[in-house]
Chain A
């Protein structure tokens, strides 16, 4: 993992000192809210419905046990004993007090963390594949590049006042777990004909009001050219992007309005200038970063404990079958710890749970953890022989839910329970869907299914790319939920299609149930997952299930 240099440490500390002064001047009245708001947003502090909210950056979702312990301590000392893992791999605190925030930021700085550029019209926290450095299908660990991007974008003088926010996602695998097609810039590591690693550069993707799949602006970019090339993209956008209309300000609209060819031309011209100016300094820095991401030392040992538990304990077996992914090293696995216990708030983790996870990471996962954009926590380097002990420890803190990738592993934004932008609630809908399918005991029978819920059109809950997406809206003063179908967040990216009119709050769970029951009737076998059945048959039979005809409804 990356460790701060003296420069990083001084930069973060100076920013805390600066913000402490700004908060003091706001409270004593020397700064108005209009003056203070951009300053607090630069430091990740929002004012939400019931309280302030602090968004802490977890760069590319990676953290160690000391950092997670500190997040737990902050939750206990200055918040309500929990944190919320977001779809951008950050951690949000829902209840900080303004005058405590400088102390919270200092506490974060103690463990090399911050909340800088988690808001505002800047380059935001760079997200990455949550299995980075561990996945079996990976070309290279993408995190050194993500760290390079973080250093380059932090306080980048040219990019502090972009037309709108700007989000990067990076993956080193052919399987896209980082939703690269829905980012302002998505980077997918690929090899060229000579077998050298480089990047497919995707630009202008995004969800929100105008969902668009990102377009490939460069099919293969040599690794060494990455930084000048992305700087060229952002600088072209900075000049060309619209500042007259907030809803047309993202780069997806710039690309759409100017055409990919025009953008490509401008980017390549700018790149020619910048490449010379960079002069290789970025590669020297990258080499230093890469040394800090050397893979852990894997230990050969017995897997007997796993085999015994797998045979004898059905609860462990179910968990191991669902929450474990293939690791690049023999006898190692990737454990996804579900933050979706049935009936709980997706992505919430208590301070006790954080401490338990920190202990497990230190003992069993080379001191590493990841926050995933699917709002779960990953132990990335776990020996198969330790899985039974880990499962027992997780069970004791309510973290052993065996539901990864299943119907109750729902992404849900905070929605109108917290968010000032929301138009309807998300969390209770997620809770109710999970509880309903738990009652029916059908989750494992249904199989892989991604439900994603957003409480407004901005789509933090990624509803457009859910197999089943749910969007909460305000229709004439009442919560109303629209369903989209057939979305796909992976390398076979698809933006889902709206099925029809929305459902009232008390109708949405039965509607989802009808949809899933229809799928069970329609699938050719248990191996045909929901998305495949949808792709084979199209929307029609699912729409029929969502909106039963009146005579059928009466007969039922």
Chain B
């Protein structure tokens, strides 16, 4: 029996900067997990993944599990949670960018 589809976001790394990006409902890329489009429908998710993969300015797009949160999608797996924040030994990566806002 096929496993039921769980909600997903499309994520990748930026080609030149290398940092983590997420696909939005507008078809653009964002640095914020909460700005990503959350796909509840598998066919739609696969289609958007294909669209995302065809874009030249990102690398390695894939579908990652996510769940709805108060301000937008939240990561489910701890790997995606780290990707959404940055490393735990220094305040580098997205957490560093956040403090500059």
Q: Which residues of A contact B (CB under 8 A)?
A: 26-27, 29, 33, 47-52, 80, 94-99, 345, 348, 416-418, 425, 427-428, 431, 474, 477-479
Contact = CB atoms under 8 A, between A and B. Distances in A.
A78 to B, nearest CB: 12
Contacts of A33: 59-60
Nearest to A431: B89
Contact of A97 (B18, B82, B83): B18
A98 to B, nearest CB: 5
B88 interface: yes
18 contacts: A47-B18, A49-B20, A50-B20, A51-B13, A51-B93, A80-B90, A95-B18, A98-B15, A98-B18, A345-B89, A345-B90, A416-B78, A416-B82, A417-B89, A428-B89, A431-B89, A474-B78, A479-B78
Contact of B16 (A98, A427, A478): A98
B19 interface: yes
Query: What are the 5 A-B residue pairs with the smallest beta carbon separation, nearest first?
Result: A417-B87, A51-B18, A52-B18, A50-B93, A29-B56
Contacts of A479: 78
Given A29-B56, A477-B77, A95 B15 contact: no
Given A51-B13, A51-B93, A95-B18, 17 more contacts: A26-B15, A27-B16, A47-B13, A47-B18, A49-B20, A50-B94, A51-B19, A52-B18, A80-B92, A94-B87, A97-B16, A97-B18, A416-B79, A417-B82, A427-B88, A474-B78, A474-B79
Contacts of B7: none
Interface string B39-54: 0000000000000000
A26 to B, nearest CB: 7
A418 B87 contact: yes
* Interface class of chain B by DSSP: loop
B2 to A, nearest CB: 20
Nearest to A32: B56
B4 to A, nearest CB: 17
Interface of B: 13, 15-20, 56, 59-60, 76-79, 82-83, 86-90, 92-94
A478 B78 CA distance: 7
A52 B93 CA distance: 12
B88 A50 contact: no
B30 to A, nearest CB: 16
Most buried by B among A26, A51, A428, A474: A51
B67 to A, nearest CB: 12
A477 B65 CA distance: 11
Contacts of B19: 50-51
A29 B93 CA distance: 26
A256 to B, nearest CB: 32
Contact of B15 (A27, A51, A345): A27
Contacts of B94: 50
A26 B78 CA distance: 31
Contacts of B78: 416, 474, 477-479
B97 to A, nearest CB: 11
A258 B15 CA distance: 43
B82 to A, nearest CB: 6
A52 B18 CA distance: 5
Nearest to B83: A49
A95 B89 CA distance: 14
Contacts of A51: 13, 17-19, 93
Residue among A80, A348, A417, A427 with the highest chain B CB neighbour number at 10 A: A417
A425 B92 contact: no
Given A47-B60, A50-B18, A427 B93 contact: no
Nearest to A417: B87
B22 to A, nearest CB: 14
A530 to B, nearest CB: 27
A539 B97 CA distance: 48
A95 B82 contact: no
Nearest to B92: A80
A97 B79 contact: no
A144 B15 CA distance: 40
